[in-house]
Amino acid sequence: MTQAQQAAIEGWYTMDQDQPALLGSRCESCGTYSFPAQYSFCRNPDCESTAFSETPLSRKGKVWSYTNASYQPPEPYVAAEPFVPFAIAAVALEHEQMTVLGQVVSGVGVDDLQVGMEMELVLEPLYSDEEGDKLIWKWRPAA
Amino acid sequence: MAENIAILGAGMHPWGKWGKNFTEYGVAAAREALADAGIKWSDVGFVSGAATMRCGYPGYVAGATFAQALGWQGAEVNTSYAACASGSQALAAARSKILSGQCEVALVVGADTTPRGFLAPAKGYRPEDPDWVRFYLGITNPTYFALYARRRMDLYGDTLEDFASVKVKNAAIGSANPRARYRKQFSAEDVAASPMVADPLRLMDICATSDGGAALVVSSESFAKKIGKADAPRVAAISTVTPSFASAVVEMPDIATDSAAADGIEAQSFRALLPVKAYEEAGLGPEDVDFAEVYDLSTALELDWIEDLQLCERGAAARLTRNGDTKVGGRLPVNASGGLACFGEAVPAQALAQVCELTWQLRHEAGPRQIDGAKVGITANQGLFGHGSSVIVTR
C-alpha cells in the first residue's frame, strides 16, 4: 500500500490490500453481528448484553440484489468529471445472516450480476483528491 | 378486535409544487374535511397533526400550527412524527383520544412543502449518521427501490414492461383525479423512453416529491349516530408496528440489515408484517379486501405491496397486473387514486391522503374512479427509521 492511499471511512474495514474485511461487532452473549460496529447495546430484543467485540465479517457472500447508479448522486458523494455510472450490490453473508450494501468494482455492471452470485470484498478508490486515493470496500464477483 | 371510530369528513388540498407554506395546504384540507363532515371548527376537541422533520422547517409542530392557523379555540393538540406513516400515527392518536372518552370529535391533518431537487443530508464528514454514509457511497433513495425491483426480476421473472404497466395503469386512472398533481396518461413507450435512474427503474418508474395537504374529521360511533351519520365509513384497524428483529430486507437509509445469527432469531420482512396487525385488529383477512391504496414509491414496489398485503401469492403480483385485476373495473383495484405515481409524495400528508381515497370510494363519491361495491379498503406505506402503517376502513 502506498502512503497516498487512505480509508474513505476510518475504522470500518481493514486496509489489507489482498484480504480486506469489514470490521463489525459481535455480541458476546447472543452472537448477533452489527455493521457498522456498535458497542453499547444489542439489537436482539431477547438480549441485554453490554459486552461486544470487534470482528472481521465474512469476505464472501451471495448477491441478494443489485442495481446501477445511472444518475450522479448528490453530495457528500464525490463524483468524477464526467460522472461514471457504477453498480451497487446487496450481498448476503451466510455466517453473519445479514446483508451488506456496497459499490461493485468498476467495470462490472448489472449485466454481469445475478441474484445468488458469489461475491468477495475488495478495496478500491471511492474517489481521489490531492492527498491521493480514498479507499472503500467494494464487491467483486468471486474468482 | 379494537373498537371502531367513524370518518365524518375528508378533505385534501390538491397535490402539486405550489411552493407555499405547508400550513396553507393543511388549513385548506382541514376546512374541506370539516365542511364535508358538517362539523364546526369550534366543536373539534382534539387536533392531531402529522409532522415531518427537515432542517429549519417548522413542520414538527404541526398540531399546534394547524390549530393556530384555524384560530385558537382551546382544543387539545398532538403532533406525530413517523416519516411516511406520520398521518396514520396522528390518526391513531385521535382514535385513542376518542375511544378513551376524552373527546368526541377530532381533526387529523398532515401537510408538506417539499424542497426542490434531491433530498440530501447535511454536509461535513459524519460517518456516525447512516444517512450521510449511504449518500457518501452514492446510494440514493432510488437505489433501494431498484434493489427490490431487480430482485423481483431475478426471482419471479418480472420484466421492465411489467413495471411500466403499473405506471400506465396508475396514470390512466389518476388522470381522472382532480386532486392529483400529474393528470396525464402515459404509454409503455413513454415509460421506456424516460431516462434510466437506478437500473431497472426509469424516471417514470419513480415517484416525485410534492406539496399537498390531507385531513380527516373523526368521531366516536355514537357521535356519528347522533348526528345522523350512522353509515359513515369506519376505521376498523390502524397498524403502526415497528419491524421485528431480525429485519432482513435492507432499508433506507441503512448500509446493512440486522443479523439473524443468534439462536432462535429468524429473518423477518417489515413490509409483510405491517398488515398482519391490521387484519387481526379488524377481524378481517386479505380475502375480505375489495381494494387497496399502497405506497408506490416505485412501480415495482406496488407489486411488492400487493404480495405483502397477502392479496396474492409471493411473486404473482405482476401476473395480476398483466391480467388487469388491479385496475378499476378489475377484481382487486390497487391505487384507484392514481397512487404516488400521480400524486408524488408529500410525506406527512400521504398516509392521510390514502385514507381520504378509501373514504370517498366507500361513500361511492369517487366519480370516474369509483370501484363498484367497495366495502373494505386497506392502505399500506413504509418510510424511514422503521416507520410504516396499514389502515383498514370499512362501510
- Yes or no, beta carbons of A115 and B265 under 8 Å apart: no
pLDDT at A45: 96
Q: How close are the terminal C-alpha atoms of chain A, in Å?
A: 22
Q: Name the closest residue on chain B to residue A28, using Cα atoms.
A: B262
How many Cα atoms within 13 Å fall on the side-chain side of residue B71?
7
Contact A97 B246 (CB under 8 A): yes
> Which residue does chain B place closest to A117, by CA atoms?
B154
Per the CB < 8 A criterion, the answer to whether B298 and A67 are in contact is no
Tens place of pLDDT for every residue, chain A, 143 residues? 455 789 999 999 999 999 999 999 999 999 999 999 999 999 999 999 999 999 999 999 999 999 999 999 999 999 998 999 999 999 999 999 999 999 999 999 999 999 999 999 999 999 998 889 999 999 999 98
Closest CB from A30, A68, A102 relative to B199: A68
Q: Which of residues 90-119 of A touch B (CB under 8 A)?
A: 90, 95-103, 110, 114-116
**CB–CB contact B150 A65 (8 Å):** yes
Instruction: Say whether A76 and B123 touch across the interface (CB within 8 A).
Output: yes
pLDDT in tens, B143-175: 999 999 999 999 999 999 999 999 999 999 999
Describe the crossing of helices B62-70 and B22-37 by its angle, rounded to 10 degrees.
70
B132–chain A nearest CA distance, Å: 7
* B77 Cβ contact partners less than 8 Å away, ≥ 6 residues apart: B46, B47, B48, B49, B63, B64, B67
Compare CB distances from B265 to A36, A44, A99 and report the shortest one's residue: A44
* ipTM field: 0.96
**What pLDDT, on a 0 to 100 scale, did the predictor assign at position B57?**
53
B178 has a pLDDT exceeding 70:
yes
Best of A70, A105, A117, A138 to mutate (most B CBs within 10 Å, chain B)? A70
Nearest-Cα distance to chain B for A27, in Å, is 9
User: What digits encode the pLDDT tens for the residues B26-47?
Assistant: 999 999 999 999 999 999 999 9
Tell me if B245 sits within 8 A of A44, measured CB to CB: yes
Nearest CB partner across the interface for A67, out of B123, B199, B260: B199
Res B115: pLDDT: 76
Cα B53 to Cα B41: distance, rounded to the nearest angstrom: 27
User: Is the Cβ pair B137, A33 closer than 8 Å?
Assistant: no
- Picking from B199, B250, B259, the nearest residue to A70 by CB comes out as B199
Pair B380, B295: CB distance under 8 Å: yes
Q: How far is it, in rounded angstroms, from Cα B250 to Cα B83? A: 17
Confidence (pLDDT) at B289: 98
CA distance B122 to B135: 10
Which of A28, A97, A106 is the best substitution to test chain B (most B C-beta atoms within 10 A)? A97
State the nearest Cα–Cα gap between B300 and chain A, in angstroms.
14
User: Which residues in chain A have Cβ-Cβ distances shorter than 8 Å to B264?
Assistant: 46
pLDDT band, residue B114 (cuts 50/70/90): confident
Q: Which residues contact B56 (CB under 8 A, 6 or more apart)?
A: none
All residues at 6 or more sequence positions from B296 whose CB lies less than 8 Å from its CB, including other chains: B166, B170, B207, B302, B305, B335, B339, B340, B341
Strand residues in B220-333 grouped as ranges (E): 234-239, 291-294
Residues of chain B neighbouring A73 (CB-CB closer than 8 A):
118, 135, 138-140
8 Å CB contact of A98 and B255: no
Q: Residue A35: list chain B partners with CB under 8 A.
A: 255-256
The amino acid that residue A142 corresponds to is A
Residue in the block written with cell 457498522: A36
Strand-strand pairing, B46-51 and B105-112: parallel
What does the pLDDT average to over B250-277? 96
- Name the β-bridge partners of A63: A91
Q: Is the pLDDT score of B381 beyond 80?
A: yes
Give Dmax (Cα) for chain A: 50
CATH topology of domain B5-116+210-226: Peroxisomal Thiolase; Chain A, domain 1 (3.40.47)
For position B61, what pLDDT does the model report? 75
A-chain residues near B199 (CB < 8 A): 67-68, 70, 110
B-proximal residues of A, 10-49, CB under 8 Å = 10, 12, 27, 30-36, 43-47
In this complex, do B261 and A67 lie within 8 Å of one another by their Cβ atoms? Answer: no
Residue B64: CB partners within 8 Å, gap ≥ 6?
B47, B49, B77, B79
Q: Render pLDDT for B72-100 as a digit per residue (tens, 0 to 9).
A: 999 999 999 998 999 999 999 999 999 99
